[in-house]
Amino acid sequence: MQGTGAVSPLQGQTVTVEGVVTADWREGGFNGFVLQDPAGDPADGASDAVFVWGNRARAEIGQSVRVTGAVSEYNGLTEITVDALEVLPASLGEVAPVTDWAAIATPEGKEAHESELVLLNDQLTVTDNYDANYYGTFTLAYGDEPLRQPTADIDPHDTAAIAAATADNTARSILLDDAKSTNYNTASNRSIPFAYLTPETPVSVGSHVDFVQPFVLDYRYDAWSLQPTTPVTGDGSAHVTFSDVRAANAAREDVGGDLAIATFNVLNYFPTTAEEYVELGLGSCTTYNDRDGNPISANDCGDTGPRGAATTESFERQETKIVNAISALDASIVSLEEIENSAHFGKDRDFAVATLVAALNEKDGAGVWAYAPSPAAVPASEDVIRNAFIYRTADVERVGESVILTDEPAFSNARQPLFQAFKAVGADDADAFLVAANHFKSKGSGTDDGTGQGNANPDRVAQAPALVAFTAEVQAATGIEPVFLAGDFNAYAAEDPARVIEAGGYTNLNYALNGGEATYNYDGLNGSLDHVFANAEALELVTGVDVWQINAQEQIAFEYSRYNYNATLLYDESVFRASDHNPIVVGLDLPEQEQPEEPGQPGTHPGQGHGVDKGDGHPGKGKGVDKGEDHPGKGWKKRV
């Protein structure tokens, strides 16, 4: 009946078919069941199953039935609208599911097995979990890794290679659905608990999938999917289970060294809430509200209004997660992006970063954290979000004042780079190094130049050389050579802006020393928008690099901004989904400082910073750096 093409040759005709019921979807919105012939030939190129639809489509899984009805194509899915149904007295046999991904890997293979049972032995991995918050849907990738953003590894101007990578991603992906038509995010459905997602089953990107029961290979909503044989309630563990990736990310990996620097996009950290903004008469706001109508986060407060929490209570939830994450990051210096520029609200420019430091000190102890004050001269026009530095006072101290790029047209639509020099506590100023906090123009708006690098690529391409040039000016003014360029560059590692920076003499540390771990997941594709670049002098200080996988791969329903959106409350105070970007942390081995000799122990060094015994040397801690050898992999390389 299905035929070997995309459309049944019997479309519009009334047929009578027999088969075994393999899925019961009378509930959940699909309004039907699936019928499969257990005696069909799996290799003949024609499916042996069909979806049976209608108010009469009622049968139990395992029953052998005879169905009469009209054949139709509904948005690409062949179905029978049932007119008559008879339960057969004798069983037609057992249905053997498809077990090999290769059988359904191609569009032709999927058509040949449409609506058939599938129980794959192959490894599949969650590569996108965003739509689970809406439709109970995940995107799975064939293999043991999530899909990669092509321009994270491939020159975007190599159109043939990009096309091949894109085609491979498409071929390796398939949806996992919940056998429901429910949108959990509508007001009328928020009282219905999520499918699959629970506090104990976060279903992170990177989770491996273990199918407990067969699924149906289904086509609806313009996509191929694996549907459970009955609608999912709760965690769905009767149908499928997911591996836990959080346990391995409970703490960041050891990166070695005396201290560490990090970059962290803090997801529009705004102590000035939408509620306060309105109360102060600064403007009007619309908000995103929870299922009880309580404001949770700012929706639209205008271009210069708040972008974070809607109320003080909501801000406290956001701040708790961010503070816990930064504290556990165990970095000596943190470059912050997407933090409120409080000058826009009639407050001191540093009000927001001071608020964050106060919260960190409340958790970690008085005086543990400090921030780099704003420069004396700031740009005449700035965004409502800015860059900032915070640091652990026991590890490092500032050398000189911070400096920000001013009067540079390339940054008229982005956050201007902020530089600060640091040194280890007690070190000579001659051993200082520079860190720059950066946040280039986003991909969300602007001109698309057609190169596959998102909106506003020309803007970011202009910002990259402006940053490199300003860095040279800061180096000349301070006499400090080692420099780290950190932050959210809104460009994947092989895209033009990142390549311009590397051409200026900088190494992308995450790629050179850490395999290019993802800091972001967009539309099911892993890649890094955040980077730490080091010049040659800074590279000599590096002991290791890690991307702490706590945010980008986590389901958005765990975020403060989705608090009480669904009957299943997923928000908690853990570090997971504190933001939408993963932080990068870099270990540094700084020059040894002369220490007073202790009586009877000449020449010993008691160790400074985070537990490194300088007298014992460095046994290669961290990821991929042997300080006794040259640094492999400097610069950008095409990864295949």
> Rounded to an integer, what distance in angstroms lies between the CA atom of residue 613 and that of residue 604?
10
Helix (H), strand (E) at residue 138? strand 138-142
Helices (H), 385-481: 457-478
- Find the helix packing angle between 457-478 and 496-503, rounded to 10°: 20
Residue type, 244: D
User: What DSSP state is assigned to residue 308?
Assistant: S
Helix (H, G, I), strand (E, B) or coil at 513: helix
Give 371-391 pLDDT, tens digit per residue. Answer: 999 999 999 999 999 999 999
For residue 152, CA distances in Å to 118, 238, 460, 549, 624 come to 33, 37, 16, 17, 20
At 99, the amino acid letter reads T
Question: What pTM did the predictor assign?
Answer: 0.91
Domain ranges of the chain: 14-96, 123-248, 258-590
Percentage of the chain lying above the pLDDT 70 cut: 92
CA angle 269, 270, 273 (to 5 degrees): 140
Length of the chain: 640
Report the alpha-carbon distance of residue 544 to residue 436 in Å, rounded.
19
Check whether 35 has a pLDDT greater than 90: yes
- The rounded distance, in Å, linking the Cα atoms of 411 and 330 is 31
pLDDT at 100 over 70: yes
> Residue range 202-218: average pLDDT?
98
Residue 623: pLDDT over 70: no
Average pLDDT over residues 594-615: 40
DSSP assignment string, 224-288: EEEEESS---TT-TTTEEE---SGGGSSPPP--SSEEEEEEEEEEE-SS-HHHHHHTTS---EEE
CATH of the domain spanning 258-590? 3.60.10.10
Amino acid 595: pLDDT: 57
Helix (DSSP H) and strand (DSSP E) numbers for the chain: 9, 29
pLDDT in tens, 512-524: 999 999 999 999 9
Average pLDDT over residues 103-125: 97
Task: Please count the CA atoms within 13 angstroms of the CA of 99 that sit on its side-chain side.
Answer: 5
For residue 236, what are the CA distances in angstroms to 148, 155, 229?
27, 41, 11
* Host H or E run for residue 536: helix 536-539
DSSP SS3 for 108: helix
Structure tokens at 226: 């694996």
Q: What is the pLDDT of residue 474?
A: 98
Q: CATH second-level architecture of 14-96? A: Beta Barrel (2.40)
Q: How far apart are CA 65 and CA 78, in angstroms?
A: 18
**Residue tagged 């990051």 (tokens):** 329
